[in-house]
Chains A and B, each alone.
Chain A
Amino acid sequence: MNGPLSYNAFYAFMTITTGGVSAVWFAFDLRNLLRVRALDGGDPVIRDRKFGYSIGLVIATIGMLGSAKFWL
């Protein structure tokens, strides 16, 4: 692999920018989802936020699983 980083350093970088960011993102969207959980689900904006945060949790989980899968 031609570039400024060694093979291991590059994939450590990829893992941090994917798995690490996904973990932070998961925590962030989980907190957001818990905050809006009690709000009125009939309001389209609130409903959109709940859906968006739930999708955020799914995407973050995919990111963490993919990063872990690389090293297993």
Chain B
Amino acid sequence: MVAAGETLPAPVAPAAPRVVSPWNPANAVTASRFLTLPLFYYAVAHGYHQWATFCMLGCGLLDKLDGLVARIFNCKSAFGELFDAIADATCYGFGLIVVAAFGWAPVIPVVGVITLGAVNTVMRAIYVKRAGRTTNYKSYAMERLVAYTGYLIGFATGGFQVTFFYWLFLPVMATILAYDTKRMLVDPIPEAA
């Protein structure tokens, strides 16, 4: 009850969701990963194994750095996460195709990896459509596999146990894809944060 003369407290309006511009430092770091690709191609085409490895290492480190920059500048966004996933697919897909084309990696596993990667991309697109908003499907297992993919290119450029690492990658990826497919296509989608 409110006594005569007292006033009710003003209702608190719900906080509006924070809008983050896509032109932010974290996305700039993500985009800068593309700059390593021409250098990588040049190194592979001219037989510079070590430099090609360092290019891919740089690309991988920038991938780790963008998350840190997003936290420092508080510019984490759904678009940034999606852009990061697109950059992963582009950089690592390009790297795998180049090392296979120059005969530095076995073709069959590379085709398998790229095919499974394409299937995963389609699943993600369906997931976004199901969610009805720009969102990135978060998978702890896939995050680890993406790191392994970056390493795969480094193994090829460095000539480091290439057959061993490439052939073992396929069953791991197939297992993760089977698990994630169920989550993306069947399981309920969590509410937006």
Contacts and interface: CB of A to CB of B under 8 A. Distances in A.
The finding on whether chains A and B are genuine partners in a shared complex, rather than unrelated, reads yes
A47 to B, nearest CB: 9
B168 A62 contact: yes
A5 interface: yes
A55 B145 contact: yes
B89 to A, nearest CB: 19
Given A2-B47, A53-B140, A14 B168 contact: no
B157 to A, nearest CB: 10
Contacts of A44: 183, 187-188, 190
A52 B172 contact: no
Interface of A: 1-5, 10-11, 14, 17-18, 29, 44-45, 48-49, 51-53, 55-56, 58-59, 62-63, 65-67, 69-70
B interface, over-half SS: helix
B141 A2 contact: no
B141 A52 contact: yes
Given A18-B160, A44-B183, A2 B49 contact: yes
A57 to B, nearest CB: 9
Contact of A11 (B47, B143, B160): B160
A11 B158 CA distance: 8
A interface, over-half SS: helix
Given A18-B155, A44-B183, A59-B147, 15 more contacts: A1-B49, A2-B50, A3-B48, A4-B50, A5-B50, A14-B158, A14-B160, A55-B140, A55-B141, A56-B140, A56-B141, A59-B148, A59-B172, A63-B151, A66-B164
A48 B183 contact: yes
Interface of B: 47-51, 53-54, 57, 138-145, 147-148, 151, 154-155, 158, 160-161, 164-165, 168, 172, 175-176, 179, 183, 187-188, 190
A4 B43 CA distance: 13
Nearest to A2: B48
Contacts, number: 81
Nearest to B171: A58
9 contacts: A2-B47, A17-B57, A18-B155, A44-B188, A44-B190, A53-B140, A63-B151, A67-B161, A70-B161
B141 A70 contact: no
B144 A59 contact: yes
A52 B139 contact: yes
Contacts of A53: 140
